[in-house]
Structure 1
Amino acid sequence: MRTTTRLAALTAAAALVVTAAPAGAAPSPAPAAPAPADSQVLPTLDSALGSQLTSLVEALRRDLGLTPEQFLDQAGIGERLAESRPRWEKAFRDSFGGVWLDEEGTGLVGVVAGEAGDLLRAEATDAGFTVQDVALTTEELSARERQVSKIVTDLPEDLRALVTGVRVDPTRNTVVVSTRGGEAAQLGNLTARLKDLAEIDMTEAPDPAWDTAPFGSEDGGTQSDGAPNTAGLQPATTRAGTPGQTPAGGDSGSLGSLALLNQTGVIPEGPMRTVVELLAGLTPGTGSIIDGMSQTMSDPVTPVPQNQTRADGPAPTGPIAGGTAYSVAVPGGILECSTGFNGELDGSPVVITAAHCAGADGTRAALADGEEFGTMTRTQREGIDTALVAVDPEFSDRFRTNLVGAGPDTTQAITGSAEPVVGQKACKTGFRTGFSCGTVSEVGATIDVAGSRTIANAFTVDLCALPGDSGGVVFSGDKALGISSASNVAETGTCANADAVARENGYVPRLSAVPIADVMAAHPGLTLRTN
């Protein structure tokens, strides 16, 4: 099932005993029937999440109210649901209504009544999942989504402008049309035209169309980086634009962006200096946040000169984990982003990252201290937002690690990959905001990033990511899920502001990511580092 979302105002060690495909390999066919839940043995807390994971443990507590053991447990449930989903969808096409996790982490399987449904019900129950009766199969939901999308496309301009997304919500077993703003008469007209084919979610939220631009770190990176300040802040609004033509300042949802100077020089915000004072309530002229950068960026804002970058803190001295700051020189300045998962291609180490962070193939990448470590290659912006950094031979050993995290004492080992499932708990890490965690809210989404590019088959996680987190990792338990690409709160400056603005306007901070399976498929021969 695919969903379509327009992001016009979107500016990012455990050993879990659950079977996963070998790193880099195509997903393994699901077994005839998943193993019962009680046979999935989990490691003890000490062996699964050691003391070196304090930062992640705190993020889990702060953002999800979960212990590391609960996080690992739910990650395993999500992984098994994802493994079973394609087989059930094929074998039980007349009765399979989707899979998801509820707020308590229970694995749910939607079943349509009937003879085939009885067989699916028995299999899902034997596997340890909870069955929920639904009216529509995933095939019917997909057909209905296409029908609703056609209706939206044919709407009068004033109604079409209200719609920010069309998606399938397996938890409600329906198609959902998201809208922003609008008069009562317009919304009534829209409801009538949808003919009971979809439910409408009304919000003043920004669209998910902006990149998680490269940016600096303020306090060493947590989701709560300062007291909220909503003075003068407004939720971002949809920007007009045609595909292939970036609005001035770039595609604002991107988490990869050009670093900026204020009128008097770089603002020292911490070891990874960041210009964050775009807030209208601050003194005019003190600085601004860039919206993002794409290959077709027009009239870009003034970037930081190459001799005045913000990511100038000390570089790691040992293994280089996913989520580490790096920069790329582009005409007029510097892009600053986060490394993703480490991998290998043709026997040589590579770093997986986002294409909107890459500049162009052949561009050199450098660590925070300015030392170059590799060359951008295999850049693919449209549809997937993926690129690799081919690591220089002298740095090879430092990238032969499966760790992700901000540095010593704050890392987690990645042991494999998994497909995201709605309701699954996931975390991300990037050099701007460090670890933050949330719930997967959509899968199979098509994200329009401010009219400049699209992300096909994206998934979204309800968490805060800011410029600088682009290219960083998204994971569940010890499994890789994807790469950070776009965020709907990238212009808010801090996660504290993002949370406050979101609460006031009835939406949640949301990160859009590229599934790791799609990244692997886009780069034949690429394998994920899992040891």
Structure 2
Amino acid sequence: MRHLPRRRTWSIGALVAVVVVAAPIAAQAQPRDGAPAVDDSRATPAIVHESLEDALAEVGTTPAGFRTQSVLADRLADASDDYTVRFPEAFAGVRIVGAAGQVAVVRGADQAEPLIADARSRGFTVYSAPTPARQLDQTAERAQAWADSLPPAERDGVTAIDVDPSTGDVTVVVEDSGAAPTPPADLGAGVRLAGFRPAQGSLGSGTATLPDTQSPTIPDPGTLLPNSMVGGTRMYVLSPSRTVANWCSLGFNGIRDGRVVNITAAHCSSFTDPATGRPVFRPGTMSEDSTSPRLGTFTSAEADEALDAALITVDPEDDPRFRNSHVLADGPQPLPLSGTQSPVRGQTLCKFGQKTGYTCGKVSGIDSATPGGVRNVTIELCAIAGDSGGVVFSETRAVAVTSLSNAFDRYDQPYPSCGVARTDLAARGAVPLMVGVTVGAISARFPGLQVGAS
């Protein structure tokens, strides 16, 4: 899904903090009329899987299969770049179905037959599609320009854009609150209601306490410092006024301009503006918990609210703890990364977030017909409040950071666990979904960013 400006509200928010209510405050998420009060500060653990292998098994694959799909995704992305240039009228996109890489072809178009022959020579299968990739992406760009031109109150109702090469459809995905207007007919895009929300709880700093149960601790893996901070680790973000804090998950470590940074979601440092009642980015500070010293800071210069991406500058004295390319994966052993990857529709990806641990699922939505242009990716996996900013990966490749989720009940409150989310969403004819902001888009937004700090 193509990135678009998103609403940052406490009741309709983006996958951030564990809702730990210390005291009623103005910025805290409030239920709709009739909704029960929510306080999960002493809730049972929401960790779904403490092992990557178990998370993969739940979606019917293995570490070997995960690796094979990662290699296949790279091959498809390379072919996509090639075909976009060589066969612009015939190439429509790529996807993974089972163990097969597939190339979408506009049959009857100029050079369709040479494209089919080339795809098959690379071991891919082909399927028919109605619209060239470049036309789909042009429509998506027009849709984004339309959304960007809307007044703020209406623009906030547009969640994302979905490009589907198999049908030739470009769809504007809007919140089900009715805030966004219907796209004009001449745009060539459809519209679909969705329940994605940023879910950002907050707590008063003076009375903040940690929940009794936390995500798995990081053991000493030998090659890392015993207290290393790796992707997926819990972080505590304190507002500049030191009156409100958010729980989030660390993203990927990196380096920019010689500084060690962490790549995460911008809304982790969003706090309510008293004048407007709307959450806005404020450069907060990051630590491990409410009683720990500061480890780094958000800055306005390295935050993009529309993209929902930000870089945390790590304090120099704490550089060694972040100077690694690992994420919390593969059970208790942090997983070292070996680069980045663009997501492909149908690919299995996994995430680690401090609230729910590891969950995996297939890519069901992208905002570009070509993998290299994907900014936002939708995945059929569970992520709930507290997972925001965490890592999304393919085998050992960095893919995205967690941004949005549909794991909210009918009162717009985040579900306490993935089990509850799956059951309740199934009754409503839905499945858990999350949206991630790709590292490719974040790197493009912040030139010179190196993903991985080892």
Match of 1:342 among 240, 253, 256: 253
> By how many angstroms is 1:410 displaced?
4.2
Cα deviation digits, residues 123-174 of structure 1 (max 9, x gap): 2112221111223212333456678999999xxxxxxxx9987632123343
> By how many angstroms is 1:87 displaced?
2.9
TM-score, normalised with respect to structure 2 = 0.71
Cα deviation digits, residues 319-358 of structure 1 (max 9, x gap): 2210011112113221111111011122332111111112
CA distance 1:384–1:95, shift in 2 (3 Å) = same
Task: Flag structure 2 segments of 5+ consecutive residues without an equivalent.
Answer: 16-48, 149-156, 177-181, 219-225, 271-280, 369-373, 409-413
Q: Which residue of 2 aligns with 1:374?
A: 296
Matches within 5 A, 1:63-82: 64-82=59-77
Please say if 1:430 is aligned against 2:430. Answer: no
Matches within 5 A, 1:418-457: 418-444=341-367, 457=375
* Farther off after superposition, 319-328 or 379-388: 379-388
Q: Which residue of 2 aligns with 1:487?
A: 405
C-alpha distance in structure 1 between counterparts of 2:244 and 2:71, whole Å: 43
CA contact (8 A) 1:3 1:167 kept: no
CA distance 1:418–1:474, shift in 2 (3 Å) = same
Q: Which residue of 2 aligns with 1:516?
A: 439
C-alpha distance in structure 2 between counterparts of 1:510 and 1:347, whole Å: 36
> By how many angstroms is 1:309 displaced?
3.1
Q: Which residue of 1 aligns with 2:103?
A: 109
C-alpha distance in structure 1 between counterparts of 2:211 and 2:256, whole Å: 28
CA contact (8 A) 1:311 1:326 kept: no
Classify the secondary structure of the residue corresponding to 1:320.
Answer: coil
Classify the secondary structure of the residue corresponding to 1:518.
Answer: helix
Classify the secondary structure of the residue corresponding to 1:372.
Answer: coil
Please say which structure displays the higher CA radius of gyration. Answer: 1
* Farther off after superposition, 2-11 or 424-433: 2-11
> By how many angstroms is 1:489 displaced?
1.2
> By how many angstroms is 1:461 displaced?
1.2
Classify the secondary structure of the residue corresponding to 2:297.
Answer: strand
> By how many angstroms is 1:403 displaced?
1.1
* Farther off after superposition, 415-424 or 366-375: 366-375
C-alpha distance in structure 2 between counterparts of 1:399 and 1:57, whole Å: 25
Task: Flag structure 1 segments of 5+ consecutive residues without an equivalent.
Answer: 13-52, 154-161, 182-189, 211-252, 260-302, 446-455
Equivalences, count: 375
> By how many angstroms is 1:311 displaced?
6.0
TM-score, normalised with respect to structure 1 = 0.62
Matches within 5 A, 1:86-97: 86-97=81-92
> By how many angstroms is 1:305 displaced?
2.9
Matches within 5 A, 1:468-483: 468-483=386-401
One-letter code of the match for 2:316?
A: P
C-alpha distance in structure 2 between counterparts of 1:342 and 1:385, whole Å: 17
Classify the secondary structure of the residue corresponding to 2:319.
Answer: helix
Cα deviation digits, residues 21-77 of structure 1 (max 9, x gap): xxxxxxxxxxxxxxxxxxxxxxxxxxxxxxxx9711111111x11011001111111
One-letter code of the match for 2:395?
A: G
CA contact (8 A) 1:309 1:334 kept: no
C-alpha distance in structure 2 between counterparts of 1:397 and 1:139, whole Å: 44
One-letter code of the match for 2:297?
A: T
Please say if 1:131 is aligned against 2:49. Answer: no
Match of 1:305 among 197, 202, 205: 205
Cα deviation digits, residues 483-528 of structure 1 (max 9, x gap): 1111121522221121112211112221111110111122222211
C-alpha distance in structure 1 between counterparts of 2:390 and 2:349, whole Å: 13
C-alpha distance in structure 2 between counterparts of 1:466 and 1:108, whole Å: 32
Q: Which residue of 2 aligns with 1:385?
A: 308
Q: Which residue of 2 aligns with 1:320?
A: 229
One-letter code of the match for 2:259?
A: S
> By how many angstroms is 1:459 displaced?
1.5
Classify the secondary structure of the residue corresponding to 1:90.
Answer: helix
CA contact (8 A) 2:131 2:168 kept: yes
CA contact (8 A) 1:148 1:194 kept: no
- Over the matched positions of the two proteins, sequence identity in percent amounts to 32
C-alpha distance in structure 1 between counterparts of 2:257 and 2:174, whole Å: 46
C-alpha distance in structure 1 between counterparts of 2:231 and 2:162, whole Å: 31
C-alpha distance in structure 1 between counterparts of 2:247 and 2:143, whole Å: 39
CA distance 1:358–1:175, shift in 2 (3 Å) = closer
Q: For the aligned residues, what is the CA RMSD?
A: 3.8
Please say if 1:58 is aligned against 2:48. Answer: no
One-letter code of the match for 1:477?
A: E
C-alpha distance in structure 1 between counterparts of 2:252 and 2:159, whole Å: 31
Matches within 5 A, 1:13-28: none
CA contact (8 A) 2:322 2:453 kept: no
C-alpha distance in structure 1 between counterparts of 2:339 and 2:69, whole Å: 16
> By how many angstroms is 1:175 displaced?
3.9
> By how many angstroms is 1:375 displaced?
2.0
C-alpha distance in structure 2 between counterparts of 1:375 and 1:463, whole Å: 30
CA distance 1:84–1:306, shift in 2 (3 Å) = farther
C-alpha distance in structure 2 between counterparts of 1:175 and 1:444, whole Å: 9
Classify the secondary structure of the residue corresponding to 1:351.
Answer: strand
Please say if 1:398 is aligned against 2:398. Answer: no
CA contact (8 A) 1:54 1:410 kept: no
Q: Which residue of 1 aligns with 2:384?
A: 466
C-alpha distance in structure 2 between counterparts of 1:405 and 1:55, whole Å: 10
> By how many angstroms is 1:465 displaced?
0.9
C-alpha distance in structure 2 between counterparts of 1:488 and 1:463, whole Å: 10
C-alpha distance in structure 1 between counterparts of 2:62 and 2:345, whole Å: 20
One-letter code of the match for 1:335?
A: N
